[in-house]
């Protein structure tokens, strides 16, 4: 086994991978309606590592399924207080062909759907193209039968065959960051964003904009009618305890402003 594979194996054993959660914002009231689960590695020698530095290798060396398995367990344990109060809270996780090709992973996802009612799987377009593989097709059929929803991640950047949209129970299109970054420029990407949102609406899908960083982008996405926003303009990915605290705080603020409106209303009557 190579050094890096050995390190990944050890990291799984020692529980060095952990979850951060980035809020999904309901565009209509700007409240948190869910979160994407993102992985980090607290490496004993190198410190905090971003997923881009270890996920591709974990996929290639066959460790990703075990890592996602730990991730789901942690996710359920950590988000339970939110899920008890709001079972509709959307929880999206990133999965790849490795998961779909593994019967145990598919069973596990179905098991967690029972615990996290609005569990959504984010898959990139290349995974859907692999859908020509019989086993992947069958996995999607099982997951769908269990009521699990699919989001297409990084939409617009991958293989551009759209036939799968009609064949799979896709519910969300996540427009890639590069299209959001193009807002306010007159690059081709800004037109592609309009096309993506138009397509999504035509197909009765829900659009998620990722990488939302500025108020100008928010305003433009609101004009386009994009339903869900995600990005640093709202929040960075954060640990579960911060997310729970943040949700409590915003709930309190909403209640206070409703109370305030009631008082103002009474006074002016
Ligand atoms: P992704 O699935 O497209 O995840 C979104 C990435 O965009 C995250 O990076 C997030 O922190 C970042 N991001 C969020 N808001 C903004 C913003 O406003 N501006 C910019 N520039 N970036 C923003 P992160 O956490 O470093 O993840 C990178 C990629 O690693 C993910 O891209 C995903 O492909 C993969 N990944 C992350 N966590 C997991 C995981 O648990 N499992 C698997 N299989 N892949 C994961
Ligand atoms: Ca994602
Ligand atoms: Ca993405």
pLDDT digit string (tens) for 219-256? 999 999 999 999 999 999 999 999 999 998 887 777 78
CATH number, domain with residue 215: 3.20.20.450
Element (H, E) at 119: strand 119-124
Ligand nearest to the CA of 174: 3
* Number of domains into which the chain is organized: 1
Domain that holds residue 20: 15-258
Distance of CA 211 to the CA centre of its chain: 12
Is 180 inside a domain boundary? yes
Pocket of ligand 1 (CB under 6 A): 22, 37-39, 50-52, 55, 64, 71, 94, 96, 153-154, 177, 210-213, 231-232, 237
Is 269 inside a domain boundary? no
Q: Which residue has the tokens 């399924």?
A: 65
Is 9 inside a domain boundary? no
Is 263 inside a domain boundary? no
Question: How far is 236 from 254, CA to CA, in rounded Å?
Answer: 21
Is 243 inside a domain boundary? yes
Probe residue for ligand 1, chosen from 51, 211, 238, 243 as the CB with the greatest number of ligand atoms within 8 Å: 51
pTM over 0.85: yes
If you measure from the C-alpha of residue 232 to the centroid of ligand 3, how many angstroms do you get, rounded to a whole number? Answer: 13
Residue 29, number of CB atoms within 10 A of its CB: 9
Is 196 inside a domain boundary? yes
pLDDT-based confidence at residue 258 (cuts at 50, 70, 90): confident
Is 201 inside a domain boundary? yes
Instruction: Please tell me the predicted confidence (pLDDT) of residue 59.
Output: 95
Say yes or no to pLDDT of 175 above 70.
yes
Residue nearest to atom 4 of ligand 1 (CA): 38
Largest Cα span, the chain: 76
Probe residue for ligand 1, chosen from 16, 20, 38, 105 as the CB with the greatest number of ligand atoms within 8 Å: 38
Is 4 inside a domain boundary? no
Question: How far is 146 from 212, CA to CA, in rounded Å?
Answer: 32
């Amino acid at each position: 086994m190579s050094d890096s594979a050995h390190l990944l194996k050890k990291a799984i054993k020692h529980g060095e991978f952990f979850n951060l959660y980035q809020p999904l914002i309901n565009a209509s009231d700007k409240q948190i309606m869910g979160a994407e689960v993102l992985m980090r590695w607290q490496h004993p020698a190198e410190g905090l590592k971003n997923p881009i530095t270890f996920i591709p290798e974990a996929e290639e060396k066959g460790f990703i399924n075990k890592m996602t398995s730990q991730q789901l367990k942690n996710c359920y344990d950590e988000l339970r207080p939110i899920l008890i109060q709001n079972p509709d809270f959307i929880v999206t996780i990133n999965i790849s062909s490795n998961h779909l090709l593994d019967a145990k992973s598919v069973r596990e996802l179905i098991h967690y759907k029972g615990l996290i009612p609005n569990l959504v799987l984010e898959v990139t377009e290349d995974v859907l193209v692999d859908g020509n593989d019989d086993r992947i097709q069958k996995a999607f059929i099982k997951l769908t039968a269990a009521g699990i929803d699919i989001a297409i991640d990084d939409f617009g950047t991958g293989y551009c065959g759209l036939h799968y949209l009609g064949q799979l129970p896709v519910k969300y299109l996540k427009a890639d960051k590069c299209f959001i970054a193009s807002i306010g420029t007159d690059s081709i990407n800004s037109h592609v964003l309009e096309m993506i949102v138009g397509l999504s609406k035509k197909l009765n899908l829900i659009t998620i904009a990722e990488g939302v960083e500025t108020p100008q982008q928010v305003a433009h996405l609101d004009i386009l009618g994009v339903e869900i926003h995600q990005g640093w303009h709202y929040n960075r990915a954060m640990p579960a305890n911060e997310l729970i605290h943040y949700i409590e705080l915003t709930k309190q603020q909403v209640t206070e402003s409703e109370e305030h409106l009631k008082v103002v209303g009474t006074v002016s009557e």
